[in-house]
Structure 1
């Protein structure tokens, strides 16, 4: 995992401690890892945390084929650092992937036990670590209130289970959060991801 980031032994020790306690101060990390304060501060400057948010919206249309996924907000959390001898490296950001049994119009039946696979893909050459945490929530009121779907991990694959009983005719907004073993995360909210038939 950490070799892929090109970290030396001191950086690896501090990075590992930072993953375990992301809000730790330089002083606390130096104390926990045995590294000097100046060295810890230098490493933290080089290995910075970033958050990037993208908002996408469709132009209003009356075409029924374009009524789903009308807006998508995606927030990526990742760490990156300056590598003086590397010309270009893809950012370690995650793209969520969903395996839902929707039909051609992006609708699901009004029943319980609907399984949705949750996974991630890497951006521009980044190979994600194994997904260590995954959640999927859904809302019938545009995100005012949310229902957290139960999730489980089997053989390294994450699945959320939806209960859409008594939801016939509802428009559904979803919010997924996934984190990989390298500490990178993504949260994606899709307005009207699907409708319930």
Structure 2
């Protein structure tokens, strides 16, 4: 079993770079995966699960603070690898940039689910996400996106 971690931050508060990146300003992704050594002279794709989100934001990247909303989440493999089997997905949400988290209700099973994000936060605030997925082969991903999108 291997573990790979990636942390990305876009600028510090009050800097020009931070002002350009209102949403998704920091991500932490940790993959766990199994991999065999490829045959000599060959390459092997690593089974790093990927997450796709489709929040119902407006053109400014915001949703209404006063209403729950649905967040479709899909787990997939890199192109060239078979789709993950038996995926289990959980979603946690934070309205205080990761200081506290609460579980979202999940509808559906497998590679595509819809999380119901309860009404929370205040206009001008943000929604942060922490999503975990694992397939039956033991491959897993945990991804935290601070300031994933805003509230209006």
The TM-score normalised by the length of structure 2 is 0.85
Q: Which residue of 2 aligns with 1:96?
A: 51
Give unmatched runs, 5+ long, in structure 2: none
- Which of 33, 37, 61 aligns to 1:82? It is 37
CA distance in 1, matches of 2:4, 2:110: 31
Q: How far did 1:65 drift?
A: 5.1
Quick check: 1:90–1:124 contact (8 Å CA) kept in 2? no
2:6 counterpart of 1:51 = no
CA distance in 1, matches of 2:17, 2:30: 29
Change (3 A) 1:82 1:119: same
Q: Which residue of 1 aligns with 2:87?
A: 132
Q: How many residues align?
A: 149
TM superposition outliers: structure 1 runs of 4+ over 6 Å: none
State the Cα RMSD in Å: 2.2
2:70 counterpart of 1:105 = no
Q: How far did 1:87 drift?
A: 0.6
The DSSP-based 3-state class of the residue aligned with 2:116 is strand
Structure with more relative contact order (C-alpha pairs < 8 Å, separation 6 or more): 2
Larger radius of gyration: 1
Q: How far did 1:67 drift?
A: 1.1
CA distance in 1, matches of 2:86, 2:55: 18
The DSSP-based 3-state class of the residue aligned with 1:92 is coil
Q: How far did 1:165 drift?
A: 4.3
* Greater Cα offset, 58-67 or 129-138: 58-67
Q: Which residue of 2 aligns with 1:192?
A: 147
Q: Which residue of 1 aligns with 2:73?
A: 118
Q: How far did 1:123 drift?
A: 2.2
Quick check: 2:75–2:112 contact (8 Å CA) kept in 1? no
Q: Which residue of 2 aligns with 1:16?
A: none
Quick check: 1:111–1:163 contact (8 Å CA) kept in 2? no
